[in-house]
Structure 1
Amino acid sequence: MHYLLNKLNQLWRIFATAFGFTLFGLGGLIILSTLWFSLIRLFIWDKHRRHIIAQYSISFSFTFFLWLIKGLRVIDYRFTGLEKLRQDKSCLVIANHPSLLDFVLLASVMPRCDCMVKESLLNNIFVRGVIKAAGYIPNSKASKMLPHCLDTLAEDGRILIFPEGTRSIPGEPITLQRGAANIALRCQADIRLIHIECNPPMLIKHQKWYDVPPTKPFFDIRIGEKVAIADFADDNITVSARKLTRYLTSKLSHTTNKINYKENNEPVT
């Protein structure tokens, strides 16, 4: 009987996941990109104001989406230390990246937040409208990217970066690219670290959306320390970036190494 109940619960979460992501996709494409952001472009001529309104709109929609899938018992989550994040201005927010939902979770609690995104996403019909409306920063050439970052930070903005560049694989060492460290050093911006754990793993790299774990995943998001960029400043940017990247790797690895799992995604007890 217990096995049957677990299977029924898993089947329910597959259905609820499909419903939630269908609603998420349609909402992002039709309501936000096609309708709401078009109205913003029509009536708000100031680009900076448009970006802020779009970011608040995205945060609100993500909050609703998370409320929905939590209510449907697809996932559960907890934030610790949010008061630190809400006080942050003019800094980079750097997090590990175990799941596809990481950005959704963080953006839901950061109404004003720019994000570093892959430039290739501008070719994705589902998200390019959102990226452009919110003024997110493509990881293009430094000559284009750095001025954008400097402008955002000068206006008390925050830039969210997942320095791994892609979702991590549970149980494997993480590897950070040096881009985040270079941006922090060249813009002289402090770094707020965020630690994300998901147990059992869900929506990890190479995992299909319907491959839901046997038990409900729990996301634990902890707002960590503030890294002072002055502690890593040096005349040689390359050396400083390597040193800072090693430090960030050690801090974020402390999170990912705690995740324990089996090949079939069953939680280890």
Structure 2
Amino acid sequence: MDIKSVTSKKIYTFNQCWRLFAIAFGFILFGVFGFVVLSILWFSLLRLAIWNKNHRITIAQYSISISFKIFIGIIKSLGIIQYQFEGLEKLKQDKNCLIVANHPSLLDVVLLVSVMPRCDCLVKGALLNNVFISRIIKTAGYILNAESEKILPQCQQILSNNGRILIFPEGTRTVPDQPIKLQRGAANIALRCHADIRLIHIQCDPPFLIKQQKWYDIPIKKTSFNVTVGEKISIDDFVEPNTTVAARKLTRYLTSVLIQAENI
């Protein structure tokens, strides 16, 4: 759907007005709960009570997953969105692998983390400047893409302990009406850490909370998210002596699979 068809309508229907109110309420609730309850109160208590860093990170990530599950449950019950997962049983079995997904909406990470109680994320370093989520990122032990020299050692340590890492290789949300374009970071991590890849495709129709769209640009109909968990990609199929070449090939393959999923 053309983004212009979503944002050009100025007179909202009653249903759109309700969803506008509901999403505003949802963001306020998310901000207050995330900053006050989760970040200030609960994570401060964790830092005081749990001295073992790995144990603290595990509890923090479980807490975030439960919080996200509650949040999407609330906005679904308010009629803002609907969502469904396909192949979720595959995801629950994954260890020692990368979870790689396309990134059409701001809610992508919320949806995925809500069904992965134990999962590390590769996040933008700039998010540390956000007072609402910087403490959450630190307590959960998420990997910062700005600290390039630490990324591979952190990833290797997580994966060697049967962990999994969520990565959106586009680096940002998909630009409307533009083809998917992946960066090579996820492929490099997979190859250098010798980790398989679980590829996930997220469909968001009609577009909502996407790149270049204001939060108050409410679609005419309720947005539906369809999250499809694909087959696992064996890294052994892409390993070769020249890692740079291998990363290009793997990135092209991931791109082609995601584009194919977009066109189904």
TM-score, reference length from structure 1: 0.92
Indicate the residue corresponding to 1:68 in structure 2: 74
CA distance in 2, matches of 1:227, 1:253: 16
What percent identity do the matched residue pairs reach? 63
- Distance in 2 (alpha carbons) for counterparts of 1:76 and 1:102: 13
2:30 to 24, 28, 48: 24
Could you list the per-position Cα deviations for residues 178-217 of structure 1 after superposition, in whole angstroms to 9, with x for gaps in the alignment?
0000000000000000010011010000111111101000
1:145 aligns with 2:151: yes
- 1:60-101 alpha-carbon deviations (Å, 9 max, x no partner): 000000110000000000001010000000100000000000
1:224 corresponds, among 192, 205, 230, to: 230
Mean CA deviation greater in 164-173 or 12-21: 164-173
Distance 1:253 1:55 in 2: 31
Whichever residue aligns with residue 171 of structure 1, its letter is D
Tell me what 2:163 maps to: 157
For residues 149 and 214 of structure 2, the distance between their equivalents in structure 1, rounded to whole angstroms, comes to: 37
Q: What amino acid sits opposite 1:167 in the alignment?
A: R
> What is aligned with 1:91?
97
Structure 2 Cα separation of the partners of residues 172 and 207 of structure 1: 14
Give the Cα separation in 2 of the matches to 1:122 and 1:254: 35
Output the aligned Cα RMSD. Answer: 1.0
Match of 2:3 in 1: none
Other-structure match for 2:120: 114
Matched, 1:187 2:203: no
- Looking at structure 2, the residues matched to 68 and 31 of structure 1 have their Cα atoms a distance apart, in angstroms, of 17
2:13 partner SS: helix
Paired residues, what number?
253
TM-score under structure 2 normalisation?
0.94
Cα displacement (A) at 1:155: 1.2
Q: Deviation per CA, 1:144-163: give whole Å up to 9, x if none.
A: 11110011111111100000
In structure 1, list runs of 5 or more residues that go unmatched. Answer: 1-5, 259-269
Residue 213 (str. 1) matches residue 193 (str. 2): no
Question: Which residue number in structure 2 is paired with residue 34 of structure 1?
Answer: 40
Q: CA deviation at 1:257?
A: 4.1
> Are 1:130 and 2:136 an aligned pair?
yes
Q: 1:244 aligns with which of 247, 250, 257?
A: 250
- The whole-number CA distance in structure 2 between the counterparts of 1:135 and 1:37 is 12
Matched, 1:200 2:206: yes
Q: CA deviation at 1:142?
A: 3.6
Letter in 2 for 1:193: L
CA drift of 1:170 comes to 3.5
Structure 2 CA distance for aligned equivalents of residues 243 and 135 of structure 1: 30
Query: Partners of 2:220 and 2:142 in 1: how far apart?
Result: 36
1:54 aligns with 2:46: no
User: Does 1:178 find its partner at 2:184?
Assistant: yes
Contact 1:170 1:256 in 2 (8 A): no
Q: Which amino acid aligns with 1:123?
A: N
Task: Give the aligned residue type for 1:108.
Answer: S
1: CA distance, partners of 2:191 / 2:98:
11
Consecutive unaligned residues in structure 2, runs of 5 or more? 1-11
Q: Which moved more, 1:106-115 or 1:165-174?
A: 165-174
Q: Structure 1 residues 33 and 141, CA, compared in 2 at 3 Å: closer, same or farther?
A: closer
Mean Cα deviation higher: 137-146 or 216-225: 137-146
Cα-to-partner distance string for 1:126-153 (whole Å, 9 max, x where unaligned): 1101100100000134421111001111
Q: How much does 1:116 deviate?
A: 0.2
The 2-side partners of 1:141 and 1:188 are apart by: 21
Question: Is 2:125–2:147's contact at 8 Å kept on the other side of the alignment?
Answer: no
Q: Which of 25, 45, 52 matches 2:51?
A: 45
